[in-house]
Amino acid sequence: LDGRILRLAAEDVPVPYNAKLEAAMLPSVERIKKYILKLVNKR
Report the pLDDT value the prediction gives residue 18, as an integer from 0 to 100: 92
Query: Is residue 36 pLDDT above 80, yes or no?
Result: yes
Report the pLDDT value the prediction gives residue 1, as an integer from 0 to 100: 56
**pLDDT tens-place string over residues 8-26:** 788 788 888 999 988 888 8
Alpha helices in the chain, H assignment, sequence order: 19-25, 29-39
Provide the 3-class DSSP secondary structure of residue 29: helix
Mean pLDDT of the chain: 81
